[in-house]
Chains A and B, each alone.
Chain A
Amino acid sequence: MIRFSGHYYDGLSSVRHEVELHLDTKLILHVKGLDCDRAYPLQEIKISPRLGNTVRSLGFADGAKCETSDNDAVDEAQGWLGEGQSNRLLHRLESKWPYALLATGLLMVILIAGYRWGIPALAREAAQLIPDEMAYDLGKGTLEFLDQFLLDPSELDDSRRASLTRAFAGMAEKYPRLPLNLQFRRGVGPNAFALPDGTVIATDELVELAENDQQVLAVLAHEIGHVHHRHGLRMALESSAMVLILSTVFGDVTSIALLSSALPTVYLEARYSRGHEWEADTFALEHMRANGIETVHFADIMQLLLNLHGDAEGALSYLSSHPPTRERIERFR
């Protein structure tokens, strides 16, 4: 026999009845109060899952309900029926600190491992699995957008442009699967970037900074590396995966702390960018070695760029999307 007390609500009105409950050996639950005397078979009672020490509810077939704070008694009753083990297990896991700390620790391990290895690996595989037409279709309108808002037409003299374009075409022949095409622009300082659809953009300022053609081509080889590895697509996959996981784990952070979670993701994504830059460097390194171009040219142009921008050591360099330039340069000497 199990005895405990609680409140009875008949489901037809909001009146609260104080009642005593008692479960007899025939598994019938008796509910007795001032205006109340009912009996229900335990089998047909809908027992709510245990949640910490919150009030437990027992739902009856006639729409009435009992609420009680005596969770242990209800657990015992469930035990008599041979039910509720999974519920008790969940409650045990949620109520003992060692389990919660273990869960938190495990969670952190999974999240950190996922961030460092899981997400990049999945993004890499997924990006390669996506068919060529779809992968290179990505961001088709980007060049028009950049031309409209950021870039000016190139002012390089034609012969320089032609010789570089020829040399680039020679490089591109080695990668027939990539829809490479070279464009020159002006207006954002010495730089080069690759768009996901295979367009490689080099700025006039970069060409003017370079001491010779090989230095420009070294940078272009690095950009071809970005196209080959589908970094644009991978970046999109990686940041979406991260946003998805963060919102799953942390829920609606904006409503309790008022500030958006944009800041941490920017910092986290910077790490992925650094990885992509390193991969593109590796590609350039291998290409140059395979085609008899001295790798030191890449180191030289990087050094020229570095002298121009100054060394961004210190806190900001962790935020920058490129690995500390010194390390990158040393690889090519």
Chain B
Amino acid sequence: MEEFERRPKQRSWQADSKMNLPFKFTGSASEYFRIWYVNVLFNVLTLGIYSAWAKVRNKQYFYRHTWLDGTSFEYDGDPLGILKGRIIVGAFFVGIYLSSTYSLYLNYGLLILLFLASPWLAIKSWAFNARNSSYRNLRFSFRGSLGEAYTVIVGLTILNIFTLGLLVPYTQWRTASFKIKHHGYGTRKFSLAVTAGPFYAMYLVMGAIGFASYVATFGIFNLLTEAINDSPTSETWPVEILTLAFVASVYLPMILSFTYLRANSANLVYGNTRTGKLKLRSNQRTLPLLWIYLSNFLAILISVGLLVPWAKVRLARYRIQYLSLWAGESLEVMADEEQEDPSALGEAGVDFGGFDFGL
């Protein structure tokens, strides 16, 4: 019996070769549809307790269908940990809701408490998520300090209130940087190789897009109402259609700008994530993403929510399709390290309050 060599073997690479390894998504709406609905049914039948198990299954589905260089990712979070966290955070939110009807002071107090606790919840949940994500049997990790979390999450939020939005691009960059530079894979650490400058540029462009599209849509809306007023027939258009047109002209530019922001934020953040000689690349475009969002919305509306799983798969496929890894070194040189097991309390914070900071 040959003894297995414990030292990692390095495949032979050219010294300056670069390999572009695109991420692949192999999930399908029809397969996911079945898994989704059976799990939702169990969730409803168990009055929500099964949701922790459903979450693990749903997440694992997307992880296992994301491939890089022939291996897929794995998620193995413990449902009991997720459930405990959800119950505690859920009770807290019920308390907030009830106190809003009985005592305004208690309500504000609880909200402030939640705000102050959010860095802790965020750190715990990112750590839980990272620890339970693995690739080729090496785990990811998150090691951000609580102090820095407070500076970034609480400190910057307060500062933003006073600076009327001037610091928003900086805040987005700083938060992304905090998240990424404390994530690790095995012994490797990640870094965000971009400054806040491109974020400011992105917001400026977004503002320009928003302005231009508002001018366009309100121009069209004005022409429409003028045409109606000038029309020779005495029939007026039903109020519903006019309201719809008005609502559309308010929302569409917003959605366009927001989609631009989403696509470019992803590109800026993912596209500048590095470790060693491995660099991530992200190539999302505004218009295709906008199409996906709008058609998802219509599909969900028309199907009364039945097509939610289809919409999820579609969006995931787009994002992963435009993600790739430039490998300036072999993927096989990573090594493992020791980690302890963080509690799952914060994990539920991500689910309930939407503590997802955009990554």
Q: Which A residues fall within an 8 A CB radius of B? A: 7, 9-16, 35-38, 48-49, 51-55, 57, 63-65, 67, 90, 93-97, 99-100, 103-104, 106-107, 110-111, 134, 137-139, 141, 236, 240, 245, 248-253, 255-259, 264, 314-316
Whole-angstrom distance between the alpha carbons of A53 and B251 in the complex? 41
B293: chain A residues within 8 A (beta carbon): 256-258
Whole-angstrom distance between the alpha carbons of A245 and B305 in the complex? 13
Listed by A's residue number, 10 A-B pairs whose Cβ atoms lie within 8 Å are A9-B137, A10-B137, A15-B9, A54-B60, A65-B137, A249-B44, A252-B354, A253-B305, A258-B296, A316-B239
Nearest CB on B from A317, distance (A):
11
Best-buried of B39, B70, B300 by chain A (most CB within 10 Å): B300
Stretch from B29-37, B142-150, B204-212, B213-221 contacting the other chain = B29-37
Q: Which B residues fall within an 8 A CB radius of A? A: 1-2, 4-6, 8-9, 31, 33-35, 37-41, 43-45, 48, 51, 57, 60-61, 64-65, 70-72, 74, 76, 97, 101-102, 104, 135-138, 186, 238-240, 251, 255, 258-259, 293, 296-297, 300-301, 305-306, 308, 311-312, 315, 331-336, 354
Give A14's nearest chain B residue, CB to CB.
Answer: B334
Give A46's nearest chain B residue, CB to CB.
Answer: B76
**B38 and A93 within 8 A (CB):** yes
**A11 and B336 within 8 A (CB):** yes
Whole-angstrom distance between the alpha carbons of A57 and B135 in the complex? 12
- Secondary structure at the A interface, as helix, strand, loop or mixed, is mixed
**What number of A-B contacts does a CB cutoff of 8 Å give?**
159
**B4 and A107 within 8 A (CB):** no
Q: Of A12, A35, A53, A256, which contacts B336 at CB under 8 A?
A: A12
Whole-angstrom distance between the alpha carbons of A252 and B354 in the complex? 9
A49: chain B residues within 8 A (beta carbon): 57
**A67 and B1 within 8 A (CB):** no
Given contacts A15-B332, A35-B5, A137-B102, contact A100 B305 (CB under 8 A): no
**A11 and B137 within 8 A (CB):** yes
Nearest CB on B from A307, distance (A):
20
Whole-angstrom distance between the alpha carbons of A103 and B335 in the complex? 44
Whole-angstrom distance between the alpha carbons of A93 and B57 in the complex? 14
Whole-angstrom distance between the alpha carbons of A107 and B354 in the complex? 26
Nearest CB on B from A8, distance (A):
9
**A16 and B332 within 8 A (CB):** yes
Q: Of B8, B41, B64, B336, which contacts A107 at CB under 8 A?
A: B41
Nearest CB on A from B254, distance (A):
9
**B136 and A94 within 8 A (CB):** no
Give A97's nearest chain B residue, CB to CB.
Answer: B34
**B308 and A48 within 8 A (CB):** no
Given contacts A67-B71, A104-B37, A107-B40, contact A12 B335 (CB under 8 A): yes
**B308 and A99 within 8 A (CB):** no
Q: Of A9, A12, A51, which contacts B64 at CB under 8 A?
A: A51
Whole-angstrom distance between the alpha carbons of A104 and B44 in the complex? 12
A99: chain B residues within 8 A (beta carbon): 34, 38
Whole-angstrom distance between the alpha carbons of A193 and B61 in the complex? 51
